[in-house]
Amino acid sequence: MHRKPPTPQNPNCHEIVQCLVFSRRFISLFLSLFLSFSLVFSLSVCSNNLMKVTQELLQGDSRIERLLKNPNWRPAAEAAIAHLLRGVECPIISWKKSSTWAQVKMVYEEIKTRQK
């Protein structure tokens, strides 16, 4: 049995299947990229909102208030807060090993866990 050449009235089934498969792959790729972008955007918006709340909660915690009121502990506490909330590098490396830094980090982790 001889096949007829494809024409607009008699399209080749193989070509239609290839076109559908290509379309499905393209749509799948487009949707995955769109959803990835949407997820990244929504996470960045959420993390910015959580950062503000966390900073307010962190500075409002009685343990952090105590550290911030002491002139000897305040610089290390502020550096720890800046590092944990905004990723700012610590100006004095030894502060990262201090009990002040550990207390700020502990309170930060507690607040972060409560927000989940």
* pTM of the entire predicted model: 0.55
Domain coordinates in residue numbering, the chain: 13-115
pLDDT value of position 41: 55
Amino acid identity at 38: S
* pLDDT classification of 112: cutoffs 50, 70, 90: confident
**For residue 80, what are the contacts with CB-CB under 8 A and spacing of at least 6?**
90, 95, 100, 101, 104, 105
- SS3 label, residue 2: coil
pLDDT in tens, 18-49: 666 667 776 766 666 666 666 555 555 555 55
Q: How far apart, in Å, are the Cα atoms of 69 and each of 32, 76, 80, 96?
A: 50, 12, 15, 19
pLDDT in tens, 72-83: 999 999 999 999
